[in-house]
Amino acid sequence: MAEKFTLKESIQLAVTTEQLGRDFYLRMAKKFGDKKDIADVFTQLAEDEKAHEAQFKAMVDKIPPQEDKPERYELFQFLRATAISEFFQKDYFKDVDSIKNSTEALGRALSLEKATLQYYQAIGDILKDNKQLNGIIKSEKNHVLALVRIIPTDAKFRGLGDNY
C-alpha cells in the first residue's frame, strides 16, 4: 500500500472489499444450502454487497481531483491505518473451504462486517454527510445487528431489517 492513501484509492478498496465479500457470501450460501435459514442470510448479504459495490463505483467517478489531495492529514492516516489493520493483516477469505459449520461462517461474516463498517466510517469522516455512503454505513450496521442476533441465539432469520 502506498504511503499516501487517497480518497479515490480508499473507495476503490471499498469496491474490492464488497466484491470479495459478495463472493464469500455466495460460497457460504452454496455451502450451507441445506440449511435454508443460513443460506438465506448469506444470499441476502451477497445481494447487499453487490448493491454496495455499485454505489462505491459510482462514488469513485464523482471524486473531484482536489479530493485526492488530503488537507486533513490525520484523517487520511487513520483511514490508511484502518485499511492496513482490517484488510491486509486479517485475511477474512483465507481457508474459506475449511469452514466446517454455519456458526463459524456467520462469525467470519460478523468480523468482516464490523471491519467494513469501521473502514466506511473512516471514509465518512473525510466525506462528511455523503448520503450514499451514509446509506451503506446504515446497511452495514444492520448486517452487524442481524448477525449478532442470529449467532448466539440460532434465531430464525426473518430478514436483515428485522428488529430485536
> Got the DSSP string for 26-68?
HHHHHHTTTSHHHHHHHHHHHHHHHHHHHHHHHHHHH--GGGG
Distance CA 53, CA 47 (A): 10
Is 58 part of a structural domain of the chain?
yes
Contact by Cβ (8 Å): 142, 160 = yes
Q: Which domain holds residue 89?
A: 7-153
| Mean pLDDT, rounded, for 67-83 | 65
Which residue in the block uniquely carries the three cell numbers 490508511? Answer: 80
CATH of the domain at 38: 1.20.1260.10
Per-residue pLDDT, 97: 83
Is 160 part of a structural domain of the chain?
no
Is 159 part of a structural domain of the chain?
no
pTM, entire model: 0.81
Is 163 part of a structural domain of the chain?
no
Residues in the chain: 164
Q: Give per-residue pLDDT as tens, 96-108.
A: 888 999 999 999 9
Is 64 part of a structural domain of the chain?
yes
| Mean pLDDT, rounded, for 66-95 | 65
Number of domains in the chain: 1
Is 2 part of a structural domain of the chain?
no
pLDDT-derived band at 1 (thresholds 50, 70, 90) equals very low
Is 162 part of a structural domain of the chain?
no
Is 158 part of a structural domain of the chain?
no
Comparing 156 with 152, the larger pLDDT belongs to 152
